Chains A and B, each alone.
Chain A
Amino acid sequence: MTVFHFFNCAILTFGPHAVYYSATPLSEYDTIGTSVKAALVYLLTALVKLVCLATFLNVSENDSFDPYQELLKALIGFIDVAGLYFALTQLTHRNISQNHKFQAVGLGWAFADSVLHRLAPLWVGARGLEFTWDYILQGLEANANLVLCISLAALGSLMWLRKNKPKTLIPIIYACAGIVATMPSITSYLRRGLGWHFPKVVGFELFTSLVMAFISWQLFAACQRPST
């Protein structure tokens, strides 16, 4: 019954992306093209990131937390933000509203991330005889990542696309974007620096993703009000 388990984990990992697409107005406006483009940008960004990581980072023999290396990693992680910026501003989308644009980009981004990082381990590991919770947790992590990606895309669209936003909110937006963008480094710190176990880390990720989603939603709504 291991293929069954694989199937379950795959549903958990990739299901929410599909549900998100079909449940929200994204499907009505046929924004799949935008998502695909965002996914391609993600792939390119991942490649650039890989090159940077390979160039600047030492391979650590032990699994310990090295602050300098982690800082470097976090900086390289900001390439993601650049890629997202490119996807949001430079790509010519068919005229879809900003509202849908960031969702489509975030979705494509998150989906590409899931496929790249989770499909192969799932295929190799979840079909084995030994049962572990790892792949279920990994699926939950993918969910958290989806929420975070869409939050980041929302914040990015607020930063770069919306011109007339309340001045008081700007630092908050930037701060939130900064937090969301450094999420991978934070989780890496929790895992290696503090020695948290995987379930705990995933719980943390889920929790923070929900919090960040709530905050960015509120910010988005606050920015929406004066313009309309």
Chain B
Amino acid sequence: MATTSKARQREVFESMYSVIALLFILVACVEVLDAATVVDVYRLIQYDLAGVPFGSRLASLNHHAGSSLFSPGTDLSRTVLVLPVRELNITFIREFIGQRQPLGGLLLLLPRIFSSENRGSMGGADQNSGKELMRNILMELERLLIHANIPYPVYFAFEDDNIDSVLADVKKNDATGQPATATTGGYKLVVSAPEPKKLISPTMINIQGWLPGLKADGDSNQLPTIAIVASYDTFGAAPALSVGSDSNGSGVVALLEIARLFSILYSNPKTTGRYNLLFGLTSGGPYNYNGTHKWLQSFDQRLRESIDYAICLNSIGSWENELWIHVSKPPENAYIKQIFEGFSNVAEELGLKVGLKHKKINISNPRVAWEHEQFSRLRVTAATLSELSVAPELLESTGGLFESRHFVSEAAIIRSVKLVAESLARHIYSHHGKNIKIFADDSSLAINPSYITSWIDLLSRTPRVAPFLSKNDPFIMALKEELADFTVDVNLQHESLDGIFTFYDTTSARLNVYQVASVTFDLLLLLVLGSYLIILFSFLVITTRGLDDLISLFRRPPSRKAKTA
């Protein structure tokens, strides 16, 4: 008896539990909410080239998210497309932008490995080939976006868990049928940014430092000068992401290391050479080396004539075994021959290859492809050392999106530094043709790999688009301090960027992702609530006053008339 009653009790309890469980399941189904996500986004550059507008012309964004271009006939003018770059069809994008189709906005998701916070190891060969592919896609995309006039806002963001889940939801939504608009709900992407304003008189800052040589006794002539120059600023599709690890972060690092090595040599009068060394970190590189031009213009004639030759370092961070020396004087020229022989001798000893490329300057053409051409135009012998074999076009190879830290190897920079420093030293101390290693690996003059790594890491984190660098930007101050540690007479030269470029501000912003309910949902909710209240009303009237009262509520006054009658 007791057991049966207990069993019955248990049954009752179990049924109760199932009811409660059902209720909870019903309630739990409702629980699909997540709070607003905030993502850092980087705007596509907006600039005018000789008055012709390029880049993204808008900054503020307030539209629903969509994930696919492939929906013919639908109006995308109120949709923000969210496209991961890894799945991007570049030809399709080109067509889309080329046809100037209306779009609410474009959010491009860059793979995590391009994020400057992400500095993982290089991974396997398989991953490397993937990266190489990615790099090519980004290069294409960047070229496309920089040279297009896009009438809607374009932003870049890095993939992360939040945005990935949003994207997955949006894709699911798109797959089920209609793309999200105001009536179907989904996600709303909001960037509240003011109208981009023109940057008034953007400045370029050149940094220079000297290592003075020692005159021989009784020599009254001015000492000759050797200039080592690298341009440090960048240009890319997203100014806030243009860190330019290779172009020209590698050159800057090499310059600093060379300055460090020679400062050790020049600190002792016995090893001070009979040459002045001039180190120049120039700005305006992407804009036909405008900063280099201004810098050279500021020199007086005597100084300019005292420059024996100048070595410009450009993109020397990712080469395997061949570097190029670019010159604009014919190779038969004695000075050029001397420089080239100096380099190729050292290269041979180091097991490297150095090639010579000659490209004539066309004075009437405003394009200056290499930094040394600015020197050559002023009749100063100069050469550019670079891993690029062909002169880049305007706004190319200037440190864009694809130049992440992963594509630069310290080993390549170290090799370049060794090559330049060694051949310079042989020239300075007249050891031509002698196999003397001044900067041998285990001597006190060895190249410091950790110094190179730390600087290339810093450069790979710092966007350096000149117009967006303020006058006393901490990065420029850091460069100045660093150069001042090794050289004397360090000074900054502020120049205004002249010419045909106009830039607009707002390079980065914060994107708010809201999950929004649709109007139909609200209408439906209103309907449900209305019926709930009506049912409640009817229920209460019936239980407290009876059914007749409820019916009489809806009956019209005729009943009263009938009463009076």
Which A residues are closer than 8 A to B by beta carbons?
1, 4-5, 7-8, 11-12, 15-16, 19-20, 22-25, 129-134, 136-137, 197, 199-200, 202-203, 207
Contacts and interface: CB of A to CB of B under 8 A. Distances in A.
Contacts of A11: 526, 529-530, 533
A30 to B, nearest CB: 16
A97 B526 CA distance: 36
Given A23-B541, A207-B23, A8 B533 contact: no
Interface string B2-33: 00000000000000000010011011101111
Interface in B13-70: 20, 23-24, 26-28, 30-33, 35-36
A134 B517 CA distance: 13
Given A19-B536, A207-B20, 18 more contacts: A1-B182, A1-B519, A5-B525, A11-B530, A20-B540, A22-B537, A129-B36, A129-B190, A129-B512, A130-B35, A130-B514, A130-B515, A136-B525, A197-B28, A199-B28, A199-B30, A200-B28, A203-B26
Given A25-B545, A129-B514, A199 B31 contact: yes
Nearest to A5: B522
Contacts of A137: 30
B33 A133 contact: yes
6 contacts: A8-B526, A8-B529, A130-B514, A131-B514, A133-B32, A197-B28
Contacts of A20: 536, 540
Given A8-B522, A136-B525, A199-B27, A129 B188 contact: yes
B516 interface: yes
Contacts of B515: 130-132
Nearest to A1: B519
A7 B523 CA distance: 11
B384 to A, nearest CB: 53
B528 to A, nearest CB: 9
A7 B26 CA distance: 24
B176 interface: no
Interface residues of B, number: 37
Contact of A1 (B28, B31, B517, B538): B517
B533 A16 contact: yes
A108 B23 CA distance: 30
Contacts of B30: 133, 137, 199
B533 A130 contact: no
Contacts of A136: 525
Contact of B540 (A24, A130, A133, A207): A24
B519 A129 contact: no
Interface string B211-250: 0000000000000000000000000000000000000000
Interface of B: 20, 23-24, 26-28, 30-33, 35-36, 182, 185, 188, 190, 512, 514-519, 522, 525-526, 529-530, 532-533, 536-538, 540-541, 544-545
Contact of A200 (B27, B182, B512, B514): B27
Contact of B23 (A5, A23, A129, A203): A203
Contacts of B26: 203
A102 to B, nearest CB: 13
Contacts of A202: 27
A23 B538 CA distance: 8
Contacts of A134: 33
B13 to A, nearest CB: 15
A131 to B, nearest CB: 4
A4 B33 contact: no
A213 to B, nearest CB: 11
Contacts of B540: 19-20, 23-24
A207 B19 CA distance: 10
Given A23-B540, A130-B514, A133-B30, A200 B24 contact: yes
A132 B34 CA distance: 8
Contacts of B182: 1
* Chain A CB within 10 Å, residue with most, of B27, B28, B32: B27
Contact of B522 (A4, A22, A23, A132): A4
Contacts of A133: 30-33
Contact of B516 (A22, A25, A129, A200): A129
B32 to A, nearest CB: 8
B27 A5 contact: no
B525 A8 contact: yes
Nearest to B23: A203
Contacts of B522: 1, 4-5, 8
Contacts of B538: 23
B544 A24 contact: yes
A203 B536 contact: no
A133 B190 CA distance: 21
A209 B526 CA distance: 24
Contact of A25 (B23, B532, B544): B544
B544 A131 contact: no
A134 B519 CA distance: 18
Nearest to B32: A133
A68 B51 CA distance: 73
Nearest to A103: B544
A1 B20 CA distance: 35
A15 B533 contact: yes
A25 to B, nearest CB: 6
A134 B530 CA distance: 19
Q: Sorted from nearest, which 10 A-B pairs have the closest CB atoms?
A: A23-B540, A131-B517, A203-B27, A199-B27, A130-B514, A129-B514, A130-B36, A23-B537, A4-B522, A24-B544
* Chain B CB within 10 Å, residue with most, of A23, A25, A207: A23
Contacts of A203: 23-24, 26-27
Nearest to B522: A4
Contacts of A197: 28, 31
Nearest to A11: B529
A22 B540 CA distance: 9
A1 B181 CA distance: 13
B527 to A, nearest CB: 10
Contacts of A131: 33, 185, 514-517
B191 to A, nearest CB: 13
Nearest to A20: B540
A104 B533 CA distance: 19
B35 A132 contact: yes
B517 A5 contact: yes
Contacts of A7: 526
Contacts of A22: 537
A7 B522 CA distance: 10
A27 B120 CA distance: 72
Nearest to A21: B540
Contact of A15 (B23, B28, B35, B529): B529
Contacts of A132: 33, 35, 515
Nearest to A139: B529
A174 B530 CA distance: 37
A198 to B, nearest CB: 8
Contacts of A16: 533, 536
A11 B182 CA distance: 23
A205 B201 CA distance: 65
